Amino acid sequence: MNINRHFSLRPYNTFGIDARADFFASFHTMEELEEAISEYGRLSAAGHQNDILILGGGSNILFTRDYPGIVLKNDISGITVVREDDQHIYLKVGAGENWHGFVRYCIDRGFAGVENLSLIPGKAGASPMQNIGAYGVEIKDVFHELEAFHIKEKAVVRFSAEDCQFGYRESVFKHTYKGVFVILQVIYRLHKMPVFNTSYGAIEEELERMKVTELSLAAVSQAVINIRRSKLPDPEQIGNAGSFFKNPTVSAEKYAVLSTLFPGIPGYPSGEGVKLAAGWMIEQCGWKGYRSGDAGCHGRQALVLVNYGNASGKEINQLSEQIVESVQEKFEVMLEKEVNII
């Protein structure tokens, strides 16, 4: 097992932050994962499970410091059919598979359910962890089960959708089991006959612009890709991690008060409350297009914080704290960060 020391993580996080890991290794199998953990324990007398950080595509993480432990990059690959019936096909996907690559795999074979999640950066293993979602679809809608490795007990555990406790950009792996398990494989349940979801956002408008007369998985996917590219910066060009904040949910009573104070404030029914548009509130506070040094708030989408070149993670996090404070002061609504801060 090749373990690197004092390793730069700049190429491995989409913010492009030049943090360093005391130790770094990649693994392609569960056996390599076990070997890396064991070797790390031998190399570092202080080594224990809390010093282990599992990295996928690095698209939802902000390093504000060097990492004083080992970073293990999950490169488990492979897509296999595990079973199928008249309506569904079940695909087991390695946690290290590129997410958009998997979406393309499904579209090319006529498997429906993830086309609205096109162009989301990152790896398949992070999809249930974050319960990623976009344009009216979330991972929980196509999730069947996953296999995860318990770091301390060195055992493989299966998780059902119920076990994962999915919420809005949430799962049990973000809190209760953070740092406890490593996701190895995810099994998705895709539809053989598509049920198109085009009512969310500007999908229908984009399909019209594209002059699509007959709906297809590829057409919906391309519409989503076009919309995302028009709004979100390419991490290859400008460092970012997509939406930095979650859209907050408030009570109907709170929304009624906000609507009176701020006519035109967007709100969408969500469960027992109303989901607000965090980007709209951030823009109303004057942050859209803001830049201080190389840390900034994107000019087309206020939900996205960016690194224009050499911003530190601390500078970007400080900017996020300023934004949270100003939104709280203006709207009395607390924004929650979607990006994991290290």
The residues annotated as belonging to the active site are 169, 243, 338
Gap between the Cα atoms of 267 and 258, Å rounded: 10
**Whether the Cβ atoms of residue 307 and residue 239 lie closer than 8 Å to each other:** yes
Q: 266: how many CB neighbours lie within 10 A of its CB? A: 12
Residues contacting 332, CB < 8 A, separation 6+: none
Q: In which order are the strands placed within the sheet that holds 143-150? A: 79-84, 88-94, 181-191, 143-150, 155-160
Closest C-alpha to 75, from 127, 18, 27, 12: 27
Q: Look up tokens 């969310």; give the residue.
A: 200
Tell me the β-bridge partners of 98: 123
Q: At what angle do helices 99-108 and 217-231 cross, to 10 degrees?
A: 150
